[in-house]
Structures are given as structure tokens and as C-alpha cells.
Structure 1
């Protein structure tokens, strides 16, 4: 009996001690695992933390506060949201990383800066208010358009099955033409007009994104489905090519969809050279809109570039009583 009690007691002590030892090992290795995991996470986060601190320091030195990264455009360019330390006004900072770039890219960035500075006095063009040049980066501080871009507004309307009224469309057209006239009078071809590059601030339309814009004819072709026939054939854009892109934007406004969805240049050429091209353009435009508006869109999207000049030259902005902007009836396209 005594022997049985002794064996039972010994077995109990053995089990308890091993359980305690197991718990000790579990606690020790759990802490080790947590510490290791924390180290890995910290190692991953440190570049981001350092990067954020660097952004803060750069902007603070020039009177701005870094808020957040809005968009990473390419491997060497980002869009930041910044705030003025003096006025608390919000701005957009378009940042280019200059480390390791070639001379052509640098010239392109400086060309964009020069063009934006030249066009800063038109109310229908996104204004550049400042720029920051560091050894390894170039930042354009531009006005923040609080209502986003026109494409986002078109998508919202499409989701809600809400079409633009004709007065709204003419008002948008008037403002785009006002900005484009100013651009062309300064001898500049935008080259990439599309709804994602048309911005809205306090209900005012503003043309932006001059990344491929040039003085004179422009050999930098823009977005495929916004290229005119002659741009594709001649491999360059001009003032009348910009008007074709205005036609594409108008088409989006009346149909809430893009006029073209080609996958490559050959697809675009086949569409342009189809004998039913003109009917293709107007068939999706609702009868809700006037013949005048349909004619403007049809002429702006014409393969004959002179049709675009004619329809805009004859377009009298003052006929639209709801237009809220004063523009010249004759625009500088020749």
C-alpha cells in the first residue's frame, strides 16, 4: 500500500514538473517568435517610416506639410497631398525622382514646368503655384481640384443613370475651349486631352496634365483611343488634333462612354477607314440632344481636320445663355 502511494505521488510530481517545463518552453519560444516577428515587421516598416520623415522634412523646409501619397504614377513619380503651413490651403505635389534618370526625361520634366508656368494666368487651366528642386527630386506644387476629374464625374453619372443636360455640356465645352484657346495662343499643343485630364474645382473646369505637351507640332502621341486619324498616320499631333480630343470628351458627356475601345493602332486605323465611320459616331448619341450639339461632335470627330476648325470657328459661345464664362467666338487654331 505504501509502495503504491509512493509511486502515485512520484508520477504526479513527474507530470506536474514536465507540464511546468513545457509551459516555460512555450512561453520562452513564443516571446522569441514575437520578438522575431516584431523585428521583421519593423525592418519592413522602417523604410516607409524613413521615407515619410524625409517627405515631411523636404516640404517643411519650403513651407508645406506632407499629408499623404495620393497616387504612385510610375516607378519614379508620385502624387502627394500637401498643406501650406501659412494658409492651411491644400495643394497637389507632383513629384519626380531625378536619381538615375536620363537627360531626355529631365528635359521632359523641365518642359512641363516651363509650360505650366507659361499658362498659369488662365482660369480654365490647372495652376502651378510653386516648385521644389532638390538634388534628387523635382516637385510641382499645383492647385488642388476638390471635385476630382471629369472622368470620375462621368462614371458617377453612369452609375446613377444620370445624363448631362445640354446646358451642362455646353458649359463644360465653353470652358474647355477657353482653356484650349489660351494654350494654343501660346503656341502649345496639349496632345493628351481626355476626361481624366480635365479637372473640376468649385464647379469650374480646368485643363491639366501637360506631361507630353510641346510647343509647335507634338511628336509625343497621347492616349490611343483619343488619337485623331492624322495623328496616327503622321505620327504627330497639332492644334486640330487637340480639337479631335475635345470631340472625344463631348462624346463621353453625351453617351457616358468612350467613343473608341481599340487595343492597338491598327484597330484604330481600321475603324477610321470604315465607310460607316460617321454613322458609328452619331448612332449612339441620344435624340435627347439637339442637332447643333450632335453636329459639333460629328465635325470634331471628323477625319477631315478642316471640319473641326470650321465647326469651332462657327460656334458662337454666347448662343448658350447658361454659359458662365466669356470667351472669344473665334479661337486661335490657325
Structure 2
């Protein structure tokens, strides 16, 4: 599926938010005066949300599960986001929405090696290749940020030393940090979190 058809198909996907519509003010000057209309997300981005909200572990697990559900949707359509972080994840009526697909690429596009993206969230191995496992690395940084309610700083080792973090959360988080060949795929993570959530954490 090409990116255009993917965008058309994705309009109603639960955990994905794309541009609603584009208008040209002056059709004589295509490329100038372009307006992009976005759907309003009433809770803003995830970073501001967790900084202003006292999230329970149940809330955090639900958020983590919805994010990986959105990532799975992209990966199942052979799309890698390449710029996942908490400022690119919005909350609309309490539902997680992954947005900002400016760096997204189809996996069959051979020019997928780059170092673009927010520092700290980019897979260090992306200079070798950038694939689904690169998004999983970024997801791991998001898990750390949600757990610790801190903005990750470049060069700081992301350890889960906070004693309040449940062991199961630490376990899946650590798996996502492994070398790319050992990182789980999104379906494994979703099922793990689904079981974890069902246990009432």
C-alpha cells in the first residue's frame, strides 16, 4: 500500500491522527499559502498531560497499550514512523493518537537510513538501518518517560531504578532496549501489556 492510500484508509483508526484536510488559499500559487486543518485533541500532547495529571499505574499501562496498538497499525501497513516521542502523541477525549508523520516512510523504501528525529528517542543503530525495531526503541524511551514522569535527557542512561515501577513494566521496557535482533515486535508487546492490564495492575 502506498502512503497516499494508507492516509485515506487511516482516517478512522483509533490510535492514529492524520491531517483532516488541506486547503489552498490561492490556487495560482501552489506551494504557497497552504493551510493544514488538524483535528483538535482536547487533552494536548502526552508530555504535557502526564506533567499535569497524577497518573495511576493503571492509566500508564493503558496509555502504553494504546501507543503500541497505534504502532502496530503502522507496522502492519509496512509504515515506520521514525519520530515517535511524547510530543507527537496526543490525547483526544482520553484516547491516545499518534500524529506527525512528516518523517514516516514505507519499509520498502530503500532510503530508510537517517538520523532525523528527536534526540534521545532515536535508535543509536539507525545509522545501520532504520526499521520497525527503531520505532520499538523509541517506544521504550516513551515507556521510561511515562514511568518516571520525567523528560529524558540526551546521554542519560535510561534505567528503571524507581522502586514504584512494577516488575512487569520493567521487564517489557528492558526488552525494547535490547539489540534490534532481540527486541520484541509490537504484537508481542501488546499481548504482554494486555495480560498485564487484565491482572488489575
Interval containing the TM-score (normalised by the shorter chain): 0.7 to 0.9
Unaligned runs of 5+ in 2: none
1:310 CA drift (Å): 6.0
| Large movers: runs of 4+ above 6 Å | 111-114
Confirm whether residue 224 of structure 1 aligns to residue 119 of structure 2: yes
Alignment of 1:67-216 (within 5 A): 116-133=7-24, 134=27, 135=29, 136-157=32-53, 162=54, 164-216=55-107
The alignment status of 1:300 with 2:196, answered yes or no, reads no
- For the aligned residue pairs, the C-alpha RMSD in angstroms reads 2.6
Higher strand share: 1
Q: Does the residue aligned with 1:308 lie in a helix, a strand or coil?
A: coil
The structure with more helix, counted as a fraction of residues: 1
Aligned with 2:166 (options 290, 300, 319): 290
* Count of residue pairs the alignment pairs up: 188
Q: 1:211 to 1:193 in 2, by over 3 A?
A: same
**Structure 1 residue 244, shift from structure 2 partner:** 0.7
Which structure would you say has the larger RCO, counting Cα contacts within 8 Å and 6 or more residues apart?
2
Q: What displacement does 1:166 show? A: 1.9
**Residue aligning to 2:142:** 249
CA distance in 2, matches of 1:310, 1:212: 21
Q: Is the 8 A contact 1:171 1:322 kept in 2?
A: no
> Aligned equivalents of 1:239 and 1:132: distance in 2?
32
Change (3 A) 1:119 1:182: same
Change (3 A) 1:115 1:310: closer
Whole-angstrom CA distance in 2 between matches of 1:286 and 1:145: 31
Structure with max Cα Rg: 1
SS of the counterpart of 1:193?
coil
Distance 1:238 1:259 in 2: 22
Give the distance between the partners of 2:171 and 2:199, measured in 1 at CA: 20
TM-score by length of 1: 0.51
Unaligned runs of 5+ in 1: 1-110, 263-270, 272-279, 324-334
Q: TM-score, normalised by structure 2?
A: 0.81
Conserved? CA contact 1:119–1:182, under 8 Å: no
